[in-house]
Amino acid sequence: MDTRTAVASRILELCKQQNIKVNALARLSAVPPSTLKNILSGGSKNPGIVTIKSLCDGLNISLTEFFATETFRTLEQEIK
């Protein structure tokens, strides 16, 4: 799994855990719905850390909590 896919999967996982829809997360985090949908669909190849932090704020979690998963711990290096 690449980093972009891991980020999108994590966002969807957290929305499911907190029982909120993607549009609700966009509103809660003050991230435009189009930006969030681009991240989730793969249109955004490199979602910025500031955007991810805003999403974390909307989810009431820290960046550490966002990235503290086995998926992120085991991502392979993408630049070879």
| 23-71 confidence digits (pLDDT tens) | 999 999 999 999 999 999 989 888 999 999 999 999 999 999 999 999 9
The structure tokens listed for 8 are 């999108």
The structure tokens listed for 22 are 């993607």
CATH fold, domain 3-73, is 434 Repressor (Amino-terminal Domain) (1.10.260)
CA end-to-end distance (rounded Å), the chain: 15
Is the pTM higher than 0.85? Answer: yes
Q: What does the DSSP 8-state code read for residue 69? A: S
Which pLDDT score, from 0 to 100, does residue 45 have?
81
CA torsion sign for 67, 35, 42, 46 is negative
Helix extents (H) in 1-80: 3-18, 22-29, 33-41, 49-59, 63-67, 70-73
Which pLDDT score, from 0 to 100, does residue 66 have?
97
Which pLDDT score, from 0 to 100, does residue 79 have?
76
